[in-house]
Amino acid sequence: KVIGVKLTGTLSGWSSPKDVILEVARVLTVEGGTGAIVEYFGPGADSISATGKATICNMGAEIGATTSHFPYDANMAAYLKATGREAIADAADAVAADLRADDGAVYDRIIEIDLDTLKPLINGPHSPDRAHKVGAAGVGAAARENDWPLEPSACLIGSCTNSSYEDITRVASLARQAAAAGLTAKCELLITPGSEQVRATIERDGLLADLEAIGATVLANACGPCIGQWSRPESITGQPNTIVNSFNRNFPKRNDGSAMTLSFVTSPDTVLAIALSGRLDFDPTVDTITAPDGTEITLDAPVGEVLPDAGYDPGVDTYTAPPADGSAVEVAVSPTSDRLQLLTPFLAWDGNDYQGLPVLMTAQGKCTTDHISAAGPWLKYRGHLENISGNLFAGAINAYGGDAGIGKDITDGEFRPYPEIAMRYHEAGINWVAIGDRNYGEGSSREHAAMEPRFRGGLVILARSFARIHETNAKKQGLLPLTFADPDTYDLIGEDDRINVLGLPPVPGQNVQCQIVKPDGTTIDFEAVHTFSPEQVEWFKAGSALNIVRQKVAAAG
């Protein structure tokens, strides 16, 4: 299906592209776009810069969308030319009419947003669709009702999202106003450039200095705090605390590993205003900040530049070209390393149906890729599949007891952490199935969330619905992601049940026949839906997409 988002009017003042996608998330929720393409159209679409459009589409994963896109326009052409891709712009210009919606295009659903009247939003905590208006009557009222801390412990701007030249020029314009009034950030303020090119350009143009002048710290060009890569003292994370960021995701424990941290998502402009005010409930459109001399300061709306007048500075060239012939290159990894481990190919499908698979885990409610494979301190093991599998399902909520990360081990009936159970099953050669709720696997396109279940002997993931990126990742690792044809089947599966999956391999366009096997031997038949293409069926049969690549390389000699 195709969901159309009709944009009219023009963004102005404190409203930004981030507020567009936060509003779409409010309307659709985190699963409302599942299985859909989201197409933005209307006269308002052409008023948004290319990087603004990227911010909106980047966060489309948070509504479950298969993909999100805007029609090609002059802003995109200008960005391509400014980033050294004039040939691509010329090629796109030649077929521009084909890169825009047809007249009379029909959508399965249309959401209308008037950019002239769109107000800044702040979404959270714990879910990117939990929307509030900024200010005391919006997020402030929700904070008082839920006892959320109103003084943020940190404010964060950047990472892959909302770190463009335009974004940074806007927040730098606010920083200059603040510095002129003697204001500095009232909490930790961290800036993560989106690329070396952006970092070098904003440094050259004095924008980093503007931000540092109000107390900001500029981090490396990396994921950074978005996935928990920053220093957070336990004195802060060990108690309820609020952080405000311009990232895409704010799931529990995602940003610093602490369930006590309440994370809110908003635009970079609003993040900086909140940092300067020291208040989650600050509304920059009407509220004031008291300067050191006692005067009340009203911040003017941010002003930015879409593209740098002097062009982009490429910065430090860190690219290392691969050898023309890599056949003689040996990858030497120490067998004692705890951070690197050569991968052993996953086993190919043995040609048989899956019978008697125990249920390792049934997730209740939200089960994001962070619940499946946490980031933060675990990322030092991302080159070592066995070690990073020590976090498998550590954040998943057990549907049979409500505990996080703990389930029942069928080998002896004891309750253990899911990573330990998975390791024991793996060592005993026991294959298994995991059960997900709605929008299973939402969030980051984190391959480890698919690799770890496969490595530990998982064969099937059954869910009410999947986030599209994770579903594809699961297929690539040789897993069988299946959706209950009747979502209520989820409620029929017990902790001690087994699952049969019949008629394998999956046939495109046909449901898969499955059975729940109760402890007394009785069975409940049900159907599951899959989205395997013929090519993806070959991934399944080979054991993984990477195995197919290996076969092709070997065949090519």
Over residues 479-489, the pLDDT tens digits come to 999 999 999 99
Q: What is the pLDDT of residue 188?
A: 97
Q: What is the pLDDT of residue 255?
A: 83
| Percentage of the chain lying above the pLDDT 70 cut | 100
Is the model's pLDDT at 249 over the cut of 90?
no
Residues of the chain with CATH 3.40.1060.10: 2-114
User: What's the rounded Cα separation, in Å, for the pair 2 and 38?
Assistant: 6
What DSSP element (H or E) covers 548?
Answer: helix 545-555
User: What's the rounded Cα separation, in Å, for the pair 516 and 496?
Assistant: 10
Is the model's pLDDT at 106 over the cut of 80?
yes
What secondary structure does DSSP assign to 292-315, as a single string?
TTSPEEPPPPP---SS-TT-----
Burial class (CB in 10 A: 0-12, 13-18, 19+), 186: middle
User: What's the rounded Cα separation, in Å, for the pair 354 and 550?
Assistant: 25
Q: What is the pLDDT of residue 194?
A: 86
Interhelix angle for 50-58 vs 165-180, to 10°?
100
User: What's the rounded Cα separation, in Å, for the pair 430 and 424?
Assistant: 8
Q: What is the pLDDT of residue 402?
A: 81
Place of tokens 């159309």: 4
Residue 355 makes CB contacts below 8 A (sequence gap 6+) with 500
Strand partners, 290: 296
What DSSP element (H or E) covers 224?
Answer: none
Please tell me the class of the 354-555 domain: alpha beta
Average pLDDT, the chain: 95
User: What's the mean pLDDT in 259-288?
Assistant: 97
Q: What is the pLDDT of residue 29?
A: 92
- pLDDT for 492-542, tens place per residue? 999 999 999 999 999 999 999 999 999 999 999 999 999 999 999 999 999
Q: How far is CA 36 from CA 4, 217, 442, in A?
A: 10, 39, 14
User: What's the mean pLDDT in 53-73?
Assistant: 93
In the structure encoding, which two tokens stand for residue 219, read together?
């981090």
Q: Which fold has domain 121-297?
A: Aconitase; domain 3 (3.30.499)
Q: How far is CA 101 from CA 39, 89, 94, in A?
A: 9, 18, 16
In the structure encoding, which two tokens stand for residue 401, read together?
């007891």
Which CATH code, of 3.40.50.12160, 1.10.630.10, 3.40.1060.10, 1.10.3300.10, is assigned to 2-114? 3.40.1060.10
**How far does the chain reach from its first CA to its final CA, in angstroms?**
43
- pLDDT for 196-236, tens place per residue? 999 999 999 999 999 999 999 999 888 878 877 788 888 99
CA 283 to chain centre: 27
Burial class (CB in 10 A: 0-12, 13-18, 19+), 36: buried
User: What's the mean pLDDT in 390-419?
Assistant: 96
Q: What is the pLDDT of residue 51?
A: 97
User: What's the rounded Cα separation, in Å, for the pair 470 and 553?
Assistant: 26
- pLDDT for 313-325, tens place per residue? 999 988 889 888 8
Q: What is the pLDDT of residue 426?
A: 98
| Percentage of the chain lying above the pLDDT 90 cut | 84
Cβ atoms of 143 and 281 within 8 Å: the answer is yes
Q: What is the pLDDT of residue 480?
A: 99
Residues of the chain with CATH 3.20.19.10: 354-555
Task: Give the pLDDT band (50/70/90) at residue 468.
Answer: confident
Is the model's pLDDT at 270 over the cut of 80?
yes
User: What's the rounded Cα separation, in Å, for the pair 408 and 47?
Assistant: 55
What secondary structure does DSSP assign to 88-121, as a single string?
HHHHHHHTGGGGSPPTT---SEEEEEETTT---E
Residues of the chain with CATH 3.30.499.10: 121-297
Is 121 or 324 the better-scoring residue by pLDDT?
Answer: 121
Cβ atoms of 371 and 395 within 8 Å: the answer is yes
In a 3-state reduction of DSSP, which class is residue 21?
helix
Is the model's pLDDT at 551 over the cut of 90?
yes
Of the candidates 264, 192, 263, 228, the one whose C-alpha atom is nearest the C-alpha of residue 370 is 228
The strand pair at 37-41 and 2-8 is best described as parallel
- pLDDT for 147-204, tens place per residue? 999 999 999 998 887 899 999 999 999 999 999 999 999 999 999 998 999 999 999 9
